[in-house]
A and B are shown apart, each in its own frame.
Chain A
Amino acid sequence: MINKEVSNADEAIHDIADNSTLMLGGFGLCGIPENCIAALVRKGTTGLTCISNNAGVDDFGIGLMLKTRQVKKMISSYVGENAEFERQLLTGELEVDLIPQGTLAERVRAGGAGIPAFFTPAGYGTEVAEGKEVRAFDGKMHLLESWLRADFALVKAWKGDKSGNLVFKGTARNFNPMMAMAGKITIAEVEELVEVGELDPNQVHTPGIYVQRIFQGEGYEKRIEQRTTRIK
């Protein structure tokens, strides 16, 4: 087995250059690469294009990189939880490409799967369709959408082994498996890094072939956006 372990987030992201295109896993703040984001803020990399379903909140997740003006462009489906994001967007400091969530997920999957384009009905007849090829299949209209790929994919898993096999937990899986496939270099941070052989091959969600670097993250905050409970 190939050992892909690096010692920490700073080492993992050391060669992410200014103006790179990144994919960052997560849905809201669930399953985001907290350690890699913190390391990017420390490194001060700028001009980044970030492909991520959301843009974090003002003081966590990708919001931390927006505050420091490290992000040039966001490619997302929903950005409603971030006032600084909205401010930068309305003043034109930040470029934003809003994409239907299923189309975003499939474009990333296509990027990793070597499918340059596909047709989907989502967005037909809307602003999203502007400039796109339209074709009818079985009488229903579809849009041609192209793949997305990135210089680096930053993903977060629950467990991983040193050869890069990953296991996710709960709804923290979300965009992470497809992004792991679509990065030229995929960096996985995990809550628990184990030796090769300790993961049951039947239970691996993302095979290690997609992952180039892996490390055990530390100090996971795993912030909750809408803590909703019921009385016993």
Chain B
Amino acid sequence: MLDKIGIAKRIAQEVQDGTYINLGIGIPTLVANFIPENINVVLQSENGLLGIGPFPEEEQVDADLINAGKQTVTTLPGSSLFSSSESFEMIRGGHVDLTILGAMEVSENGNIANWKIPGKMVKGMGGAMDLVASADNIIVAMQHCSRSGDSKLLKSCSLPITGLNCVKKVVTNMAVLDILPEGGFKLLERAPGVSVDEIKAATAGKLVVEGEIPEMKLD
């Protein structure tokens, strides 16, 4: 099984040179740490920054420079700053190439739920609905099962939906899976030490297994 760092490392392998990427809060934010040095990408923060730099050193901290998770960040040579409406023009207009975000549930037809647990959590959707409605390529980073052991890869989502038919790929602590256009999770890779049978048992939605499933290569 992978830990959060492992999931982030595996997703970093999906990142293509010369692309603009929006990283969600949590595991997706960690992906930035594992993008190879020969891959040049620009990270977008929906609160109005293209070209997110590393966290600041103590004396560089600027309250006027944060990411969408409200963490202090820095700019880089070539960064640009803009308003929230322009930020979502970039997103809605399809100018951001890849969106990586977390989820509570994903369904076999690519629906995602990640903003609300009725009666329990009412924090709001932030920019997630705009991102999933407009991004061409969406990768979800999440645990395969909930803390209580229930599969988060489902036939249909039980929680309120964030967006329909939008997720293309899911990377979990157990597996890498593509969502097939006709529906179903196609198993591509297993996490180190995890068997296909364990993945089958942990996947409530339709799982498609064809041929030998290789183990992920990390590092």
Chain A contact residues, CB within 8 Å of chain B: 27-31, 53, 76-81, 86, 89-90, 96, 98, 100-103, 105-106, 108-109, 120-128, 158, 168-178, 222-232
Contacts and interface: CB of A to CB of B under 8 A. Distances in A.
By Cβ-Cβ distance, the 5 closest A-B pairs, closest first, are A102-B88, A102-B130, A80-B123, A170-B64, A222-B63
Interface residues of B, number: 50
Contact of A127 (B57, B160, B164): B160
B129 interface: yes
B13 interface: no
29 contacts: A27-B48, A27-B70, A27-B84, A28-B47, A77-B124, A78-B123, A78-B125, A79-B123, A79-B124, A100-B126, A100-B127, A101-B125, A102-B91, A105-B87, A106-B85, A108-B85, A120-B130, A120-B133, A122-B129, A126-B164, A128-B125, A158-B64, A171-B66, A173-B82, A177-B83, A178-B84, A226-B66, A226-B70, A229-B72
B173 interface: no
B113 to A, nearest CB: 9
Nearest to B48: A171
A178 B47 contact: no
Given A28-B66, A100-B125, A123-B133, 4 more contacts: A80-B123, A102-B87, A123-B129, A125-B164
Contacts of A98: 122, 124-125
Contacts of A121: 92, 133-134
Residue of A27, A89, A168, A231 contacting most chain B CB atoms (<10 Å):
A27
Contact of B55 (A27, A53, A79, A229): A229
B66 A176 contact: no
A124 B92 CA distance: 13
B129 A126 contact: yes
B3 interface: no
Nearest to A230: B55
A170 B62 contact: yes
Contacts of A229: 55-58, 61, 72
B72 A80 contact: no
A28 B62 CA distance: 14
Contacts of A124: 133, 163-164
Contacts of A168: 81
B172 interface: no
